Structure 1
């Protein structure tokens, strides 16, 4: 694809500024890793194709996340919403196959499994609510920008995010040792998490930074990928 040379620096800056976050949002929105990667790369393609349509009527970040919303929602048509009861039963009793390959890295595997659990946990929300929550608590967008992206009243977005946070907090407080080491967590990963002291990594960050956002905290500790890296 040919690109106007005058935009090369802008594209490079966009990729460096937003590549990680767009990739993370796609990963949290879509459970199939290959489909999440496809969605992230489609966002990049759409940005390249339509950058000239950006007239500065909103912040560049708002425009980028508007493109992100359109693409992700189109990819999320087959994503299911699960009840918290279903998720609790699955995290406790779901089939767990520990790799037997002598070359596998146990610590990385455990972290990847916990990362999948967090993505699964977010699927107690429907697609739109999940994306609104991710825009707020991962991308750290302002309420007014999220309202603009979703064509909603700011007050409605504030109320929605508040309810989502309350729902997730109640679930995580009881079901996730990484979120609450003193909770009632009895998930299939609990023993392995303690074995590699992953819960201690979370506690260490909390002590250093104070009360931190659980999703952003997880991005610092658990594996992540920048699906844009091959395009920079």
Structure 2
């Protein structure tokens, strides 16, 4: 690959995929410092292998295959929680905003909600969580995901269906952002209502009826792009 073409392609990858790769790493790995390291490792592997990309597959498939391989290596120690544990954990008494935070309190509340959402996704095992994120957040085609994971497309479809049902059943009663009229009694409920965060989610749903909850969260909550410095 010519040097100029190589530079153009790398810049394109940063612009188009940096935020999404960062988001996947954040949702897959709870330790945010490690998640940033993993996102950077994905970038390093892309640079190392860019000259071998021959456009025989879609660019997105190639990038997310690298993402899958790197994340798989680093997320082996990630905990998997039962929905019973998560429900109990989120109801352990109301959170109080720390007195010593030196930035907007609403940002802190959104950061806490972001951590909760990542925790909710950890009711899935690592592979199921990543497959779900590739489909419903990255919005890759089922065929692309089957290539990345070397699984039959029908198996991917069945897994996604089960995961969607599991997440919906939990969120319906346990998260005010997902269902403002549900039975949510989590420790963030009052704080969320104080800044009217649930109304932001409702507004997006009214504009675009088919928006996925986790996609909404990427837009509303303070999600970091670990590749920003590369742009």
Provide the TM-score with structure 2 as the length reference: 0.96
Q: Deviation string for 1:27-65 (max 9, x for gaps)?
A: 000000000000000000000000112122210100000
Counterpart position of 2:166: 167
Q: Deviation string for 1:152-192 (max 9, x for gaps)?
A: 00000000000000000000001000000111101000000
SS of the aligned residue for 1:124 comes to coil
SS of the aligned residue for 1:93 comes to coil
Q: Distance in 1 between matches of 2:154 and 2:32?
A: 34
Quote the offset at 1:99 in angstroms.
Answer: 1.4
Quote the offset at 1:6 in angstroms.
Answer: 3.5
Change (3 A) 1:144 1:72: same
Counterpart position of 1:65: 64
In the alignment of these two chains, the number of paired residues is: 230
SS of the aligned residue for 2:107 comes to helix
Structure 2 alignment gaps of length 5 or more:
none
Q: Distance in 2 between matches of 1:173 and 1:6?
A: 48
Quote the offset at 1:5 in angstroms.
Answer: 4.0
Counterpart position of 2:118: 119
Q: Distance in 1 between matches of 2:117 and 2:19?
A: 17
Q: Distance in 1 between matches of 2:227 and 2:30?
A: 18
Quote the offset at 1:209 in angstroms.
Answer: 1.4
SS of the aligned residue for 2:122 comes to helix
Q: Distance in 1 between matches of 2:141 and 2:93?
A: 37
Q: Deviation string for 1:52-89 (max 9, x for gaps)?
A: 12122210100000000000111101101000000111
Q: Distance in 2 between matches of 1:132 and 1:196?
A: 33
Q: Distance in 1 between matches of 2:91 and 2:193?
A: 16
The two structures, once aligned, show a CA RMSD in angstroms of 1.4
Change (3 A) 1:94 1:156: farther
Q: How does 1:1-232 map to 2 (within 5 A)?
A: 4-93=3-92, 96-101=95-100, 103-232=102-231
Change (3 A) 1:95 1:46: farther
Provide the TM-score with structure 1 as the length reference: 0.96
Quote the offset at 1:212 in angstroms.
Answer: 1.4
